[in-house]
Structure formats: C-alpha cells, structure tokens
Structure 1
Amino acid sequence: MLSNRSLVGIRLSFQMLAVLFFLLVGTSAYAADPSVADTEEAISAGKTVFNANCKQCHKLDQKYTGPALRGSSERQPIEVVKSFIKNSQAVIASGNAYYSNLYKEYNNTVMPSHEFLTDDDLNNLLSYIEYGDKVDPAAAAASGTDGAATAGGGGGIPNEYLTLILGVLVLVLLLILVVLGLIISVLTKYLNKQGLEEDDQEFISQKTDFGKVFKSDAFIIIVTALVVALVAKTAIDGLYSVGVQQGYAPAQPIAFSHALHAGQYEIACQYCHTGVEIGKSANIPSANICMNCHMHIQNVGGKEGISSEIQKIYNAIDNNQPIEWVRVHNLPDLAYFNHSQHVAVGGIECQTCHGPIQEMEVVAQHSSLTMGWCIDCHRQTEIATEGNVYYEKLVQLHSDSKDALKVKDIGGLECAKCHY
C-alpha cells in the first residue's frame, strides 16, 4: 500500500508533467503556423516590408528603439501578433497581458498603426522576422562582430567600455598586490619561527625602503609610460570627437514638440520640411506653415487663450520676422548631402538618420553623422530597385550578380560622391 505522502508526491509530479506538456504544446502551436513560411520568396518580400515600416525602430536579434523581433510568433499566437502590428493600441486595450507589459517596459511608447498591410504582407513580414538574416554565432565570433549594422560605422570597442576595462584591470592588479602582501606576511611569520641562520634571518627581516622604490629607474619608467598613455588616449579621444555633435539638443526659440506633432498627431515630416523630396535641403518651416494649422487650431477662449509659445508664432507674423530656429544637424562644408536623393529616390525613412524623431520633445542629433557612419550605411544598405525607374539601367548592368544591389555597388564609396 502506498502511503498518503507517496500519493501526494505522485500527484504533484503528474501535475508538474501536465503543466510542462501544455507549455510545450502551446509554444509549438504558436510557432507551427504554416502561414509563416521558410521560403526565400516570402523572406525576401518580408524584408521589403520590414525595411519600409519597421527598420527605423527595430532589429531582429537585439533591442533598439523597440524590442528585438525574432521569436515574436513564438511568444504569442500568430493572429494576435498580426493584430498588434496593425493596431497595437487596440490589442493593448483588449487586455492582452504580454503586450501590455511590453508597452509599459518601453515607457508607453506608441507603435504606429499599420492598417494598410495586407494579410500576405504580414505573413511575409513574420517569415523574414523568424527566418531572415540569421547570423552564425561562430562566423560572428570569427569576424569580431555580432552581425548587426552599427550606426557609428565602427567595429571597435566603445570608449566607455574601454575605460571600464582599464579600471577593472587596475583593480585586479591591486587585488593581486594585496594577496601577495598577505602571502609574504604569512611566510615571514612562519620562517621566523623556524630558527634560521643569521644571514637568512637578516634577509627575511629586512624592511622595504619605499623611498628607494619611488626613486628607482623602473618605477619612474612605469609611471612615465602610464602618464604618456593616458595623455595620448585623452588626445586621441579629443581628436576623434572634433566636429561630432551626437546628442546635441539646443534650446529653440519656440518649444516645438515633435512628439506632439509628428507622434501624436502623425503630421508627415514632408508637410513642414517642404524641400526634403525636391532638393538638397529639407528646409526649416516658416511661420506661415505653422499658421496653416494654428489659424484654425487655437486654445479655448480665442486669441486671448493662446499659449505663450504659440503667441510667438503670431508675433513673428505680425512683425514680419522669421523664427530664428537653431540648426541641430550640421555637416562640414566639404561634405555634400542631398535629401531628395536619399528620401525621394532611395526611399530612406527620416528615422534612419534622425532617430525616433516622432518621440522627441526636444530634437537632438541621434546619429554621429561622421564619414565612417555614412560609409558603413552605403556598404550595408540595399537599393530599393523594384518599381523604381531611376535604377532601371543599373539593375540591367548588375543582372548577372547574385548578390543584392547595394549603394556601394553604384559608386557609393567614391570620394567625389560626397566631396566635390
């Protein structure tokens, strides 16, 4: 006969196995949906959808502005994932615990709706997310990269990590010295009790003359080398930072919120920056463009109820004076950049260079905008040739190539492209 304790143990074991079984079955049910196809055609089509709608905020295998996307169809049922992509706020409002927690984790950042995506688009997108651009860990380790495109264009150790590594090494050396000191102290006490000869006893009992140590040639050479290395590192860091204004966020004459206008109200960037698709410069909006909306959108109470910031727009109009906006993104005069080439022809999203501008209360320079950063982008960016008349002849010239056509293949690394 089995005791009560044994029966309870068997019952608990059975329950644990049952829970594990349902977890495994549930997980496999999420991932086994046949609509997420592991085919080259679906992955290629999905990559196009990803680059057009998701790339500015997401990466496949690492966190960016939003979470890493790989494994999305395993964490939630496929239909729920599709619904979230099309209208994230509706899914969160429905009480979905997973997406509600994710929404809170990313500081209640609202993902734009994608109601225009068809079911085929969503299936292809999920195919690319799950099966596209996978990185072999061994190859990544051999090449010294994690396989992700870096915004800075450099593959070296970030400066803050290098400083941290040096600090850890110094701490380890200090610990080694302390341990050696303790070992010497213990050995000295032990040997003093062994009845050594006079010469040996004198050798063991001798004291360290720190004055001689500090004046020794070896100590002076070591200290001098450390000082020279520190000064050289500081100088090199300073030289590399010349002209780099990443993070620069100047105060503007009017506290204009991109989070409100481009984010909450979803006003297209091109509406205010009128030259972005037709010329080199994106254009700073004039007060007249502001008034296109604000002559109809006023605070309750008429003109007397207008906020002090909006009043500045009225003052500029009344005094016929332009608003003196402060430029945030500055390229050196020796560099040529054309917005229309990138936006209208290349189909590059504003967020690719300017970051999540729709979330910024105060605009800051998101990217380094260094030459290395631009070159790295040209090396990795595939050209959107499909349906683009501008690239028809280039596609014909590269028809024999099996690799995707990238900017570097059409002269994107030539000096004269940017320096004229």
Structure 2
Amino acid sequence: MLKTTHKIFLAFLLVLTVTFGVQAQESEQAEVAAKGVEPGSTEGAETGSADPAVIDAGAALFKNNCAVCHSAGSDVIVGPGLKGITGKRSEGWLIKWIKNSQALIQSGDADAIAIYNEYNKQAMPSFASLSDDDVKAILAYVDAQANVAAAAPTTVAGPEGAAPGANVGTDAIGAIGGYLDIVLVVLIIVLIVLVVTLLLITSLLKNYLNKNRQLDEADNEIVNQRFDFSKIYKSKAVRTLVLLIFVVVLVDLGLDKMMGIGIQQGYAPKQPIAFSHKLHAGEHQIDCSYCHTTVYESKSASIPSANICMNCHSQIKKESPEIQKIYRAIERNKPIEWVRIHNLPDLSYFNHSQHTQVGGVECQTCHGPIQEMDVVYQYSPLTMGWCIDCHRETPLNTEGNAYYDNLVKLHEQSSKGAFTVASNGGTECSKCHY
C-alpha cells in the first residue's frame, strides 16, 4: 500500500511538471514566432532574403499606412490580404498601385480596374509621399511575414492579429497583471498538492495502524472515524491559503481597474448633430483637411465651423432634420457644441502638424478607420506607452535632408536598426512634457 501510494503521489507531481514544461515550451515557441525567428535559429538571423533593417522599416510603414485596411496575411479587412502579393504582381506595378491607385485605374490598366470593381469601387488612398524604397520595404515586410507564418508550427495569436492600435503601450502593467496571475495559479496548485498530500499521509497512517497495532475500542473509533470535511475549512493553514488567494484576486482585479483610469478607448459620445464620417469621408471621399482645416498647419486639428458645413448644405439636403440644426445654430449665432472625443492630459504636449505635415502620419494611424465610422469613437488608447512604442518603431525619412547626415552616420555606427523617431530623441521626457 505504501509503494502504491508513493507511485500515485509521484505520478501527480510528474503530471504537474510535464504540464508546466509544455506550457513553458509553447510560450517560448510563441515568443520566437512573434519575433519572426525559427525555433533553434540564432537571434538576428535574416527572414527571407531582405535586409533586417529594411524589413523593420517596412513593418513600421505597414503599421502606419496599410494596417487599417490590409493584413499581411490572407485575412480580408477592408482590402485584400497581402500574403503572396509579390508573386502575383510585378514590383513596378505594385509601386504604381500603392502610390496612386486611381491614376493606374484611369490609365486603363486591366488588373487595376478588376481590383477596383471587385472591392465595390472603394478608392484606395494615394501614398504619393512614399518613395519607391519605402514601398519596397513594405513589400519586403509582407514577404517576411509570409515566411514566418510558413515556418511556424502553429499560428500564434499576437499583436499582428489584433486591430491596429491594440497595443495600448502598457506592457509594464500587463507584466504586473501576468505575475499576479502566475502567483494565483501557483497558490491554487500548492493548495491542491497540500490537500492531496494530507489525504495520502492520513491514508498511510490509517492503514499502518489497522494492520500493525492492536487498537482498543476508543483508539479504533478515532482511527476509523468518518472523514470530517469541516476540519478542512477550520484548519488555520487552509484558511490562510484561501485568504491569501482571495487577497491576490482582489489586488489583481483592482490593479487592472486602476490602470484603466483615464483610458477612454472606445469612447463614443452622442453628438448634437448625427454627422457620419462614413458618408462624408468614406462614400464621398471628402479629405479630412477640408473640414479640419488646420490639421497640417497647427497644433490642433480644429473643429469645423458651421460655415464649412454650409458650403455644401446650403444646396444639399436642406430639409433634413439634422441639417436644420445647423441652420438654427447659424440663426442664433451660436457654435455647434460638439463633444470632444480625443482628450490628452494637460501635462502632455501634442502637435498635429508635426505628425501630419512633417512626419507624414496618416489620420487613420491614430484615429483608426475613420472613413468607416458612422459614429466616431476613440480608436487608440492614447497612452504614453502607446505613443512611445510608435516613436520607437517609426523610421524617419532623412533622405535629402542634410540636417540628419551626421546623426544617421552616428546611428549606423552604434545600431543596425532603422533610424527612428526615438533615435532622434523622440523618447526624451521633454519632448512631450515641458
């Protein structure tokens, strides 16, 4: 009986060990696949034939310009998935299509017209600001992602599969929550092992006493008494463990709630006029800067005045109840009281023109697929970590700008990665907090 019990106990421990070993191996494989490196390969090995620096630059360009409408895999978002696109189209054709798809369609290109018709004649934004090298870097990144997916044994869910902007930039917060979850699991396992161990010891002692000792009636009653479950929850050790688990759960939940204070991702307040960006920016292709007139020139993107609305609606849908609200605002000489959606704390400095005009950042990078929103909501978390992640990943266009020549040389001497906003001091505290 003793040997059998030992075997059961050792088997239980072996199951736990194997389980944690498999989980650790799966985590390692997931981490390796997320980095784009085959298991067992050396860190920094090239993915495909492209330069890793080019792939890194392409990854940032893809996330900033393409990820709103396209996936690097086979999934259709707004437009088609780009997996294998370089095998279907020539590089020259792809450069023309990405930089100005409408010009290619108007030239009579059969492939361009077919794609345009297949996706309900939804116009793809032009990216004339991208150089040929930028487009090639994007294509290299797409090819690299296809190679990674082919090499990985399983599909790993991660940031690439999440919606753009899903990276909330709270990695440290997530790590703390993860550690608490691990502590909670460990405590539960310890409690289970403790209970099983006590039951095994009790069974061993009971069998030993019954077989090897002459017990009087009183002792026999004690030894062979029925198990009293009340003794478990009355035990100080068990109560302490349960209390500790309860405290850890409360701390974990409380920490998650506290770290979410001030993050208004998904916030979609009701506006005084039911304005649809999907209709205006999507179907009618009205450029963002037509209404938000200072988005390329000023710190603020500006709220459109009623006069801008009336440029069209003095003739179009004049009798609409929503348009009549604009007329009443003009008659009363009062501004329309739009509800602000995207709010940054007063301690943070953000300049729209620095990002849109100088950096060439598209509106969708931060605001999401605004052209698809009937009701605008806060798409990105707008946290400090989210901004810093973007600065670390976004390469600077230094071509033709002598200001960056020495900085780029110094960067290349000390780093093999792309020259990003962070490389130019974009993560210094004083950049955003004066």
* TM class, shorter-length: 0.5 to 0.7
Match of 1:91 among 85, 94, 114: 114
Opposite residue 328 of structure 1, the aligned amino acid is I
Once the 2 structures are TM-superposed, how far is the Cα of residue 222 of structure 1 from its aligned partner? Answer: 1.1
Aligned residue number for residue 72 of structure 2: 60
Aligned residue number for residue 329 of structure 2: 316
Once the 2 structures are TM-superposed, how far is the Cα of residue 310 of structure 1 from its aligned partner? Answer: 1.2
Return 5+ residue gaps in structure 1 as ranges.
1-36, 96-102
Q: Partners of 1:118 and 1:370 in 2: how far apart?
A: 31
Q: Partners of 2:306 and 2:185 in 1: how far apart?
A: 56
Give yes or no for contact 1:61–1:68 (8 Å, CA) kept in 2: no
Q: Partners of 1:180 and 1:77 in 2: how far apart?
A: 61
Q: Partners of 1:331 and 1:115 in 2: how far apart?
A: 28
CA distance 1:273–1:50, shift in 2 (3 Å): same
Q: Partners of 2:263 and 2:131 in 1: how far apart?
A: 42
CA distance 1:64–1:408, shift in 2 (3 Å): farther
Once the 2 structures are TM-superposed, how far is the Cα of residue 311 of structure 1 from its aligned partner? Answer: 1.0
Aligned residue number for residue 423 of structure 2: 409
Q: Partners of 2:249 and 2:64 in 1: how far apart?
A: 45
Once the 2 structures are TM-superposed, how far is the Cα of residue 265 of structure 1 from its aligned partner? Answer: 0.8
RMSD: 5.0
Match of 1:252 among 268, 271, 276: 271
Residues 187-220 of structure 1: CA deviation (Å, up to 9, x unaligned):
99xx9xx999775976774322232222211122
Aligned residue number for residue 29 of structure 1: none
Q: Partners of 2:388 and 2:231 in 1: how far apart?
A: 55
Match of 2:392 among 361, 379, 385: 379
Give yes or no for contact 1:135–1:147 (8 Å, CA) kept in 2: no
Aligned residue number for residue 253 of structure 2: 234
Give yes or no for contact 2:299–2:353 (8 Å, CA) kept in 1: yes
Q: Partners of 2:325 and 2:213 in 1: how far apart?
A: 93
Residues 257-316 of structure 1: CA deviation (Å, up to 9, x unaligned):
111111111111111111111111111111111111111322xxxx4xx22111111111
Aligned residue number for residue 5 of structure 1: none
Q: Please report the TM-score for the alignment, with normalisation by the length of structure 1.
A: 0.66
Identical amino acids, percent of aligned pairs: 44
Residues 159-213 of structure 1: CA deviation (Å, up to 9, x unaligned):
9x969x88x969x97xx89x979x99xx99xx9xx99977597677432223222
Aligned residue number for residue 377 of structure 2: 364
Residues 344-402 of structure 1: CA deviation (Å, up to 9, x unaligned):
00000111111111111111111111111111111111112335x5xx30234323543
Opposite residue 355 of structure 1, the aligned amino acid is G
Residues 89-168 of structure 1: matches in 2 within 5 Å?
A: 90-91=113-114, 110=122, 112=124, 126-131=139-144, 151-155=167-171
CA distance 1:150–1:310, shift in 2 (3 Å): closer
Give yes or no for contact 2:169–2:386 (8 Å, CA) kept in 1: yes
Pick 1 or 2: higher relative contact order, CA cutoff 8 A, min separation 6. 2
Q: Partners of 1:297 and 1:62 in 2: how far apart?
A: 41
Q: Which moved more, 1:247-256 or 1:196-205?
A: 196-205
**1:393 has 2:376 as partner:** no
Opposite residue 408 of structure 2, the aligned amino acid is H
Q: Partners of 1:195 and 1:404 in 2: how far apart?
A: 76
CA distance 1:40–1:84, shift in 2 (3 Å): same
CA distance 1:395–1:352, shift in 2 (3 Å): farther
Aligned residue number for residue 272 of structure 1: 291
Q: Partners of 1:209 and 1:398 in 2: how far apart?
A: 75
CA distance 1:382–1:133, shift in 2 (3 Å): farther
Once the 2 structures are TM-superposed, how far is the Cα of residue 55 of structure 1 from its aligned partner? Answer: 4.0
Q: Secondary structure at the match of 1:399?
A: helix
Give yes or no for contact 1:336–1:418 (8 Å, CA) kept in 2: yes
CA distance 1:63–1:205, shift in 2 (3 Å): farther
Q: Partners of 1:343 and 1:218 in 2: how far apart?
A: 61
Aligned residue number for residue 78 of structure 1: 89
Q: Secondary structure at the match of 1:280?
A: coil
Match of 2:229 among 190, 203, 210: 210
Residues 132-176 of structure 1: CA deviation (Å, up to 9, x unaligned):
79769999x9xx9878996322447969x969x88x969x97xx8
Give yes or no for contact 1:275–1:281 (8 Å, CA) kept in 2: yes
Aligned residues between the structures? 350
Q: Which moved more, 1:204-213 or 1:214-223?
A: 204-213
Once the 2 structures are TM-superposed, how far is the Cα of residue 239 of structure 1 from its aligned partner? Answer: 2.0
Once the 2 structures are TM-superposed, how far is the Cα of residue 51 of structure 1 from its aligned partner? Answer: 6.6
Q: Partners of 2:411 and 2:266 in 1: how far apart?
A: 40
Aligned residue number for residue 16 of structure 1: none
Q: Please report the TM-score for the alignment, with normalisation by the length of structure 2.
A: 0.64
Q: Secondary structure at the match of 1:374?
A: helix
Once the 2 structures are TM-superposed, how far is the Cα of residue 319 of structure 1 from its aligned partner? Answer: 1.2
CA distance 1:320–1:350, shift in 2 (3 Å): same
Q: Partners of 1:233 and 1:399 in 2: how far apart?
A: 46
Give yes or no for contact 2:272–2:337 (8 Å, CA) kept in 1: yes
